Structure 1
Amino acid sequence: MLQQINYIFRKRLPQYNSIEELFGAIQAKLKDKVEIDTQELKLSGGSPVVILKNILSFRKKSPSQINHITGDVNYMALVTGKKSVLTIHDIGSILKGNTLKRIYLKLFWFTLPAIFVNKITVISEFTKAELCKVIPFASKKIEVVYNPVHSELSYCPKEKNSVCPNILLIGTKPNKNIERTFEALSGITCKLTIIGKLTENQLKLLELYKLEYKSMFQVPYVDIIQAYKNCDLVLFASTYEGFGMPIIEAQAIGRPVITSNIGAMKEVAKDTAYLVNPYNVEEIREAVLSITSNVEMQNKLISKGRINVERFRIDKIVEDYLTIYKDVINA
């Protein structure tokens, strides 16, 4: 008899797909090894009323099932029982706001869930170090399982374009550092493809710096894959990431990457991307000019990136999760 794994997902919203794409791919690989069940919560948000209603909606089908809380709804650990795994994707994007809000979020997203679950998985050593500071009492429960690169992403070589390269930017939230990126690209002949909803201020900056661009928002993953294939370079100089999926997605397609020399991005990319200080506009600019004008450098980064991606192949990640499920069963 196969072990039953119940995956608990947040309510799906059109603008947020990363967790669903990630664990959907993992479920597809696991379907012959475990019995899979899925529960999508009915409400989104983090108010006390939403938390209470979502908790009350939980139904355990079998006392032996393992419940895997896939992210963003950590508070569900209060009712899923000891045979539970909680995946935490990052810390910084949650613990922000005024003091009262931070206390509330820390309690329901970290402290209480950490007491109830058997295992906590995080997506980078960087996130693990951050989380251990927040819940030091639960440090022995925390294990790193990297995000897998999507199996639909495969190497797709493209003719080099040094005249007017297409530069892909992923995300428009404050941590994506897109305002400094725009400034760094000012005066450089290029076309931008931007995935994410642009703010009024970002639109004004695009006009101010006279940058040619195309923006995409709430698009299916197949369109994002095509954006990777169409680009010449991925520029991902974030100030904070729990992991940094665009790094390995771009490398899987075969595109050079510029990313930040801090946190999880440095951990994920290692020496296979052009690393920059995300707070230094001139450094970002110099990286773009260096790569777009040097075909040899592009080829070197592409080759190293393809090797780096092997660390994140889905078969390895699936085995890591199976090991964790076995540990929970035997606990």
Structure 2
Amino acid sequence: MIVSYLFRSPGTGHSIEELFGSVQRKNEQQGVQTMTISLPHISRGLRSIWYNFQFARRLTSDIFHITGDVHYAIFALPAPRTILTIHDCSLLKNNRNRPIRYALFWLLWYYLPIRRAKIVTVVSEKTRQELLHYVGRIAQKVQVISNGYDPVFRFIPKTFCQNCPTLLQIGTAPHKNLSRLIAAIEGIVCTLVIVGPLTSELILDLKIRQIKYRSYKSLSRQEVVQLYMDCDIVTFVSTYEGFGMPILEANATGRVVITSDVSPMNKVAAGAAHLVDSTNILAIRQGILRLIQDGVYRQHLINNGLKNARQYTITVAAKQYKMLYDQLASAHPSTQRGL
């Protein structure tokens, strides 16, 4: 049995690749033969999508796993032997006021791919409920397999720097809520470390508010891990997420985290993070100040985080995906030749 992991084009993002790269390695350790395939073009416009479609239709494998984002690739692959993973419904939420784009995404990224794929998984119950809302009964086939954090994130003790803590912010897209975070920490003695590209507006805001910051782009996995180890607080007050991996990465590393009191972040955190209203700048500020000033509370959250992380290991996620691969292999005996 050969399982081919189909990824979006390089340069689109990193989170999906990191997650399923870990799943792939774990399953290889269990004797599963795998291949990594990346689509050649970033999905910008019909031409690039068409080129990707032509590329995908020439692929051969026993089982295909579309790891996310490029859901439309299902139309070029053998549906009975293909698994589709959907991470969130952001394409629908972000285009609610653009009827034509909304209709195209609804049909080609969600409704038809879900209908066609043999197995569909999502990373959280929240995403499953959103799919039921947006596409109706066909989403009843969707299964939830929670993400697992990369084992390179491990507990490294660090003395908290109360005089000038380092805050680590992963992601700069609008839903990451960086503008409110910047406003919330104005006047707090700290260093804000940002991973992701900054707009000119955000840079200007940082300068006007006289916030000490460092920003990084295109980091290696180990460089990101080192930033977690070096920080004191992980900030993750997004207004929308499909899951919330930085919460678990902070938990596993032993760093305290502040996140949004909305699903799925509050479910993933499970008492292992300080929860705030992500639309309330004052609440974010008060939460960060409490994490800086209240050492007992901070350590309580860190201890809870270490326990919480054990429930979301990549080993658990990989086993669940392997069960699905075995299910497809059993339904199609010709895929058994590699076993």
> After TM superposition, is the score higher than 0.5?
yes
Does 1:117 find its partner at 2:114? no
Alignment of 1:11-160 (within 5 A): 11-13=9-11, 16-31=13-28, 32-58=30-56, 59-62=58-61, 65-81=62-78, 82-97=80-95, 98-160=98-160
Q: Secondary structure at the match of 2:90?
A: coil
Q: Deviations 1:48-90 (Å, cap 9, x if unpaired)?
A: 222222112122435xx11100111100111212211001111
Q: Residues of 2 paired with 1:186 and 1:60: CA distance?
A: 52
The residue identity in structure 2 corresponding to 1:27 is Q
- Aligned partners of 2:92, 2:5: CA distance in 1, in Å? 21
Query: What's the offset of the Cα at 1:106?
Result: 1.1
The answer as to 2:261 corresponding to 1:244 is no
Letter in 2 for 1:279: T
Q: Retained in 1: the 8 A contact 2:132–2:140?
A: no
Cα offset for 1:10?
Answer: 1.0
**What is the Cα deviation at residue 4 of structure 1?**
1.7
Aligned to 1:196: 196
After superposition, where does 1:273-292 map in structure 2 within 5 Å? 273-292=273-292
Q: Which has the larger displacement, 307-316 or 91-100?
A: 91-100
Q: Distance in 1 between matches of 2:108 and 2:91?
A: 15
* Range moving further from structure 2, 230-239 or 32-41: 32-41
How far residue 94 of structure 1 moved from its aligned partner, in angstroms, is 4.9
Counterpart residue number, 1:178: 178
Deviations 1:197-242 (A, max 9, x none): 1111111111121111111111111111111011000111000000
Deviation at 1:147, TM superposition (A): 1.2
Q: Which residue of 1 aligns with 2:337?
A: none
Letter in 2 for 1:193: V
> What CA distance in whole angstroms lies between the structure 1 residues aligned with 2:291 and 2:315?
32
TM-score (norm 1): 0.95
Q: In structure 2, give the amino acid aligned to 1:40.
A: S
- What is the root-mean-square deviation in Å for CA atoms of aligned residues? 1.4
Q: 1:157 to 1:315 in 2, by over 3 A?
A: same
More deviation, 275-284/49-58: 49-58
What is the TM-score when the length of structure 2 is the normalising length?
Answer: 0.93
Query: What count of residue pairs does the alignment treat as equivalent?
Result: 326
Secondary structure at the aligned position of 1:135 is classed as helix
5+ long unaligned stretches in structure 2: 332-339
5+ unaligned residues in a row in structure 1: which ranges?
none
CA distance in 1, matches of 2:55, 2:235: 42
Kindly state the Cα deviation for residue 95 of structure 1 after the two structures are TM-superposed: 4.4
Distance (Å, rounded) in 2 between the aligned partners of 1:278 and 1:121? 28
- Counterpart code for 1:91: C
Alignment check: 8 A CA contact 2:194 2:214 kept = yes
Greater shift in the superposed pair: 71-80 or 95-104: 95-104
Q: Which residue of the partner structure matches residue 223 of structure 1?
A: 223
CA distance in 1, matches of 2:6, 2:31: 19
Distance in 1 between residues matched to 2:48 and 2:112, nearest whole Å: 17
**Residue identity in the other structure for 1:11:** S
The CA deviation at 1:314 is 1.1
The share of aligned pairs that are identical, in percent, is 35
Note if contact 2:91-2:105 (Cα within 8 Å) is conserved in structure 1: no
